[in-house]
Structure 1
Amino acid sequence: MPFQPLPQDQPSCTVECPACGHRWLVYQQQLGLLGSCTVCDAARPRYTGSVAPGSGRQVSFGSFRRLLDEPRLLSLIEEALGLRPLYAERFADAQGREVPLEDIHYALQGNAEWQGQVYNLHMSRAR
């Protein structure tokens, strides 16, 4: 039987493909059960850590994506991570290299202060 998360569960662990470096969030229960990278299809991504454990303020990747039209989130991404928006869901670093949106979400969720700001934006919109 495949893993089925509970409705209140949120992915909290990050895995990285050893071949292409792509990172994405998974549920803790999925560690060790993962098949292949969603980008290059290489087998067995490796665990790289959890996002701000125990804070209870995690924002799922899908909810994070829905906040990308929020100017306060764009300001946070620019100020905290030094990234500038390009267009749509694309951001670049100071050297002009594109940064995957998953990496931005991971970085913000991995810092309790930034995670709290994203959570507050999400909750103010959810109300």
Structure 2
Amino acid sequence: MPFQPLPEDQPSCTVACSACGHRWLVYEQQLGLLGSCPVCGAARPRYMGSVAPGSGRQVSFGRFRALLDEPRLLTLIGQALGLRPLGGERFADAQGREVPLEDVHFALQGNAGWQGQVYNLHMSRAR
């Protein structure tokens, strides 16, 4: 029988494909069951870490992407992570290296305070 999350469960772990670098959120219970990358099909993505535990305020990657036109989110990303927007969905660190959007999302979700700010921005827009 395939994994079926409970209604109150939320994806809380990030995995990455070692072949193409794609990252995505999964449920903790899926870590031992993961098969292949949804983008390139390579087997066995590696575990990258978890979002802030127990807060219940996770914002999915898709919803996070929808907030990228929000100036307050861009300010948070700049102040919290030291990143500057390059336009669209791209960010760069202080050395000018591009930082994958998935990494920006993961970093914000990994800190309960930042996660709460992103969640509040999402909820303000959803209302």
- TM-score band by shorter chain is 0.7 to 0.9
* Matching residue of 1:81: 81
Q: Is the 8 A contact 1:16 1:47 kept in 2?
A: yes
Alignment partner of 2:49: what SS? strand
Alignment TM-score, normalising by the size of structure 1: 0.86
Q: Percent identity?
A: 87
* Matching residue of 2:124: 124
The aligned amino acid for 1:124 is S
Name stretches of at least 5 consecutive residues in structure 2 with no aligned partner: none
* Matching residue of 1:102: 102
**What are the equivalent positions in structure 2 for 1:1-127 lying under 5 Å apart?**
2-5=2-5, 9-19=9-19, 21-38=21-38, 41-127=41-127
Q: CA deviation at 1:40?
A: 5.1
Q: Is the 8 A contact 1:19 1:42 kept in 2?
A: yes
Q: CA RMSD in A?
A: 1.9
Name stretches of at least 5 consecutive residues in structure 1 with no aligned partner: none
Alignment TM-score, normalising by the size of structure 2: 0.86
Q: How many Å separate the matches in 2 of 1:100 and 1:8?
A: 29
